[in-house]
Structure 1
């Protein structure tokens, strides 16, 4: 049989990951991501899928971020009816994230309809919450490090990738008439010294490798993020203020909660109320208790009522009335709320009410994309528009480095050096052009690998007559 791959996303960009593997009589997709970012990329979500979705027979997911799973409701709506394989934690996270994505799609369409800025007379969502729910019965959860078959000639195994709960490296064995070939997808690789998640697993052999390159051109600074976080909190508390931490609901929030617990227990910051004000983050945090074998905190979580996700200072706020009660809060406290770049969500009303007070602090714990409120706050703009009003920025703004969930260049190279044989081809994926190019060149020069930077909709013959 001949084996080909077509790059339907995640090529030349860090979004929309979709890789179509064609074995002739069996076609399946690795990842099914939503395009995010600029208008040109987002418009691809509306393009006609390059093959009839009902002809595709399976999907294999690496992890639950929307740029890897966010197109699933659209594909199911268009007729895909096969199984969607993923790890157990990914299945549960996917339900949380896809429902929220469907809700946002509906709200954006309604807003466009109201304001009349769409080129369509009656703008429609890409998909709805109901479309998202239609995905759930098709999810087929699998254990880590236990091979499973998706076709008589195709066996898949998941290995820990770090990055977020349930994230995996995917090894796919394709059995031909006379030989067997290994396809390996890195997924998104996490950090080697993450205090919560396992480091990326070593994979010794791959005939064809797909390696992410999100941070392929940069090395993270050697900082201790918990110390930087502690300094920002002490500084704000000394002024008698409260701290607002905009944080992504999955991964970043739980890491911040871990560090805050450690800092308080060690006496490095005063014990003060922590309000987790994000229903999605609360639901995601509960999964760390459900999937204890998927992370390193098993022993930590055994101390009932006194661990990072359950202790006297921590308060979970699900209801909007609880969230609104924080508008008038004064004094030492920490509010963690989404979204991480202050582009929407509950964190906006906290910023609206607390930015004008010079006692307060806003601590950013992740990358702030150009054009976002988070980036504008970091760049020192004196006023920020929220809810149609210009809000004076008097609170002190902090940025904590070293909390990224992505492996940097050194860690990507370290993982690549774990292969004891050179892959026949290493496709450099899931990175902007510069980061992919830099990593590809480094892998070629230092490890002697044959690297390819695929383009959107490009196809390659991987094996002939195996």
Structure 2
């Protein structure tokens, strides 16, 4: 009997980990970090309910931190199997995991230097070396290629859109057919392929980040241009916290489109995120996984001034002239964007643009909810800048697009499991699935086990 248990990504949009078990064998689909609220982040330090050495394989849908960021810890704690992913996901994961390990080490060093931790000494969750060891476990597969896993299961990846290399995972095991959506991208995206629903699964595990919301149908490039232009007219700077993988490249493409139309022609654009710079280079290397040809990649991603070193980043914050700054992280949980928020947040002529989902407990969610000050690097920083949000820039499907994806399967599944969403969003999607499709749906609780 195959069983399914969510060890993360149940009742929250972070920490995705879904465990399949059959006759003592185990497959983990995604292996993400919990982010946002402190009680969720603390779960990263708790032992998994299943010893990592007892997991046969990990299937990775894509390389965002909330889906892959726990892998170094899993390997450090005893996992010895393979991590199956698309080639682009493997390359993006290498950037993200090494960066995460570096930040873990840096944070621990900061806490120890200023004696700010109750732990003596404070330790990183994992190191850069742990991240590199995790990358050595990867085994890549092409889209639509059937791969046999070591315990007799078969795996096939289908395009999910969302970010470079992202996939839905179709797994056949123990006479059961399952599809794990991972994160579902947008239809008609300028950069990435449409999500693909295929086959006739017995069970579907679907994300619900925007399960209770629909994105505006306003043109994102036009909306972005309007916000940038009114900020520049005030003599201000536009700060955009952006995910280094996916969102940064989408923003550059939009600004390239605006500049080609003669708008924002004299305004400098900075991409101040080493990881975003490296990811942008990967777009050219993985041309089969997106819609842009090499010439467009070169031109669109060439409009920004790339700042790799810290001194160049400091020069941006010191400059009083109007400009556009794209910098990680996307929910303002860390990274260089925090220095820009400290420098530009207090001045009302500037704008902070939120360009995607903001999880509970993050600075981005606080800004979204109208916070007038943020705690950054131990200081409370006043926020007088305009705060704008463009949900249509999100890389996540909205509720209508989630229903469109689900409607693409050949027959009704026995059950749909709604995961990777805040409770209201997941429940709203469950109700809609049952009402419009007539399919039975359930919102799993953390560690709840289902017999399939």
Q: Given the two structures, how large is their TM-score scaled by the length of structure 2? A: 0.93
Choose from 410, 417, 420 the match for 1:420: 410
Larger radius of gyration: 1
Question: How many residues are aligned here?
Answer: 452
Choose from 274, 281, 303 the match for 1:286: 281
* SS of alignment partner, residue 19 of structure 1: strand
Match of 1:273 in 2: 268
- Over 6 Å off, 4+ runs: none
**8 A contact 2:167–2:182 mirrored in 1:** yes
**8 A contact 2:283–2:297 mirrored in 1:** no
Residues 82, 202 of structure 1: CA spacing in aligned structure 2 closer, same or farther, 3 A cutoff? same
List alignment gaps of at least 5 residues for structure 1.
Answer: none
* SS of alignment partner, residue 324 of structure 1: helix
Alpha-carbon deviations, 1:249-275, whole Å to 9, x = none? 111111110100000001233243211
Match of 2:209 in 1: 214
List alignment gaps of at least 5 residues for structure 2.
Answer: none
Distance between the aligned counterparts of 2:150 and 2:366, measured in 1?
50
Distance between the aligned counterparts of 2:412 and 2:369, measured in 1?
44
In the alignment, structure 1 residue 339 sits paired with structure 2 residue 329 = yes
Match of 1:308 in 2: 300
Distance between the aligned counterparts of 2:34 and 2:223, measured in 1?
33
Choose from 411, 420, 429 the match for 1:430: 420
Distance between the aligned counterparts of 1:196 and 1:371, measured in 2?
30
In the alignment, structure 1 residue 443 sits paired with structure 2 residue 433 = yes
Alpha-carbon deviations, 1:367-426, whole Å to 9, x = none? 445564445555666655545556555544433231111111111111111122111121
Match of 2:96 in 1: 97
Cα RMSD for the two superposed structures: 2.2
Match of 2:177 in 1: 182
* SS of alignment partner, residue 151 of structure 1: coil
* SS of alignment partner, residue 156 of structure 2: strand
* SS of alignment partner, residue 72 of structure 2: helix
* SS of alignment partner, residue 20 of structure 2: strand
Alpha-carbon deviations, 1:344-377, whole Å to 9, x = none? 3222333333345554433332244556444555
In the alignment, structure 1 residue 47 sits paired with structure 2 residue 72 = no
Distance between the aligned counterparts of 1:389 and 1:445, measured in 2?
49
**8 A contact 1:27–1:56 mirrored in 2:** yes
**8 A contact 1:209–1:425 mirrored in 2:** yes
In the alignment, structure 1 residue 230 sits paired with structure 2 residue 225 = yes
* SS of alignment partner, residue 301 of structure 2: coil
Distance between the aligned counterparts of 1:4 and 1:373, measured in 2?
37
Residues 349, 8 of structure 1: CA spacing in aligned structure 2 closer, same or farther, 3 A cutoff? closer
**8 A contact 2:238–2:324 mirrored in 1:** yes
Alpha-carbon deviations, 1:107-132, whole Å to 9, x = none? 33333334545443322221111111
Which 10-residue stretch deviates more, 257-266 or 191-200?
191-200
Choose from 332, 348, 351 the match for 2:338: 348
